[in-house]
Amino acid sequence: MLVSEDKLIKGCQKGKREFQQALYDKYCDGMYLVALRYSKMQQEAEDILQEAFIKVFKNIKDFRKDSSLAYWIKRIVVNTALNHQRSKLYLYPMVDITELDHWSDRESIISGLNHSDLLSLIRELPTGCQVIFNLFAVEGYKHHEIAKMLEISEGTSKSQYSRAKSLLAEKVLNRERYNYGTGEL
């Protein structure tokens, strides 16, 4: 169904099923990638995506055109993902850590990855690191904003982000060693 975004929004606001499905079809794959970045298992990502779109359809009457529809939907997906992860973050609270290995070249190591490899490595991170890496590096939030969202200190946000980068770089190197058969895992 090819319609303009305005008509799509109006149709969804009226609750018309065909418009709702068209909106879902347009954004589902992009938002599924967002959900995958915040989850560890596929089932979890599917739950996040489903829940997020249910919220989208329930709240689309309140959508104002001060931002793009895609950005609005993405924010809902990210918030839904954070709600899902909040219980885990509560069980395993993040604390300020001292980075023991401060690699200077870890960013270059990570930057060499394609998005699929980077996605799979991000999903292997501990939950706190995963969330903060996504929020800072991918979504573009500032550390003080992240601290407010997750109810942590700014210092914790920074240190967890640094740790995320170290872990990602370590994983990249481990993979490379495994691929070259060094046997040192």
Partner 1 sequence: MGPGSFEDNIREKFENQTYKSPEAIWDGIEGDLNLGLLASYEASQSRYKWMAVAAIMIAVSSWAFHFYSYEFLGNHKTETSYNALLSNDIDYSNYFLPVEVRSSRRIADKQLLIVEVYKKSESIPVDDEVISDFEPYRLANHMVPIKNKPGLAVANQEVYPYIQAGYYARSSKNTAEGTKLWAGVEAGAGNFNSTMSGSDAISGGVNPLNLANAIGSDGFVNPTTVVNPQMNNGLATTVGLDFGLKLGSRWTLESGIAYTNVDSRGSASINVLDVYTVNDREISDTDGGLLSGSPVIPDEGSREAPLQITEMYDHEVDLRNTVRFTSIPLKAGYFILDRKVSLRVNAGVAANYLVESQLNDPSRGIISGSQNDLYNDWSFDGVGGFELGYALFNKFDLTLEPNYRHSITPISSSQTSPSRFIIQTGLRYTLK
**Helix (H, G, I), strand (E, B), or coil: what is residue 63?**
coil
Q: For residue 55, give every residue at least 6 positions away whose Cβ sits within 8 Å of its Cβ, in sequence order, or none.
A: 76, 80
In angstroms, the CA 147 to CA 50 distance is: 27
Number of residues that bind partner 1 (CB under 8 A): 33
Residue 179 lies near partner 1 (rule: CB under 8 A): no
Q: Of 98-117, which residues contact partner 1 (CB under 8 A)?
A: 107-108, 110-111, 113-115
Residue 163 lies near partner 1 (rule: CB under 8 A): no
Q: Of 54-93, which residues contact partner 1 (CB under 8 A)?
A: 54, 57-58
DSSP string of 154-167? HHHHHHHHHHHHHH
Is the distance from CB of 81 to CB of 31 less than 8 angstroms? no
Closer by beta carbon to partner 1, 164 or else 177: 164
Contact footprint for partner 1 (CB under 8 A): 17, 20-21, 24, 28-33, 36-37, 46-47, 49-50, 53-54, 57-58, 107-108, 110-111, 113-115, 118-119, 136-138, 140
